[in-house]
């Protein structure tokens, strides 16, 4: 079953269970899927490939994280809490992220493969590691691991 179909099924479940926050979050994701289809010059009725759906879900999760940070800076705890709840719902559709130990193994192998010795090529190296991980790891964690390899 595609991610898009899973979201549609979740909307039905949330309607029946009268879970308002879950319903709003799922509808928001479905709208984001439609926007992605239109932005990539496809019709809204087209199915969205899972790879594209994951990009949209990651974007939504990052937006929630940014909002939480902004609301906390502004002293709006109730809004930050709502964003946290939405983020928890959205994260159930994201693949499990790799831990730093797993990232380190991939990064060390890539470092040996590319023969990167000094910090001057850290940008190219970082890009290669991110490409290798294909979104299975958080960018901040990857950056931290990559930088630790050069200290």
- Give pLDDT, residue 98: 80
Q: What CA–CA distance (Å, rounded) separates 143 from 16?
A: 43
- Give pLDDT, residue 136: 75
The structural domains of the chain, ordered by start, are 3-91 (1.10.1510.10), 100-148 (1.10.10.410)
Check residues 135 and 114 and name the one with the higher pLDDT.
Answer: 114
- Give pLDDT, residue 127: 84
For the entire predicted model, the pTM comes to 0.72
Secondary structure (DSSP) of 42-104: --TTSPPPHHHHHHHHHHHHHHHHHHHHHHHHTT-HHHHHHHHHHHHHHHTTSPPPPPHHHHH
Reply yes or no on whether the pLDDT at 116 is more than 80.
no
- Give pLDDT, residue 101: 84
pLDDT band with cut points at 50, 70 and 90 for residue 23: very high
């Amino acid at each position: 079953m595609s991610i898009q179909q899973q979201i549609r099924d979740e909307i039905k479940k949330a309607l029946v269970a009268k879970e308002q926050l879950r319903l709003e979050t799922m509808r928001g994701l479905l709208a984001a899927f439609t926007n992605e289809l239109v932005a990539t010059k496809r019709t809204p009725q087209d199915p969205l490939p899972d790879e594209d759906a994951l990009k949209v879900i990651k974007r939504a999760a990052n937006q929630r994280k940014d909002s939480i940070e902004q609301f906390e800076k502004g002293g709006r705890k109730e809004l930050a809490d709502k964003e946290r709840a939405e983020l928890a719902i959205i994260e159930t559709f994201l693949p499990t992220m790799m831990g730093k130990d797993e990232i380190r193994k991939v990064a060390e192998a890539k470092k040996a493969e590319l023969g990167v010795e000094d910090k001057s090529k850290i940008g190219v190296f970082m890009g290669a590691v991110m490409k290798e991980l294909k979104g299975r790891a958080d960018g901040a964690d990857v950056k931290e691991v990559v930088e630790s390899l050069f200290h």
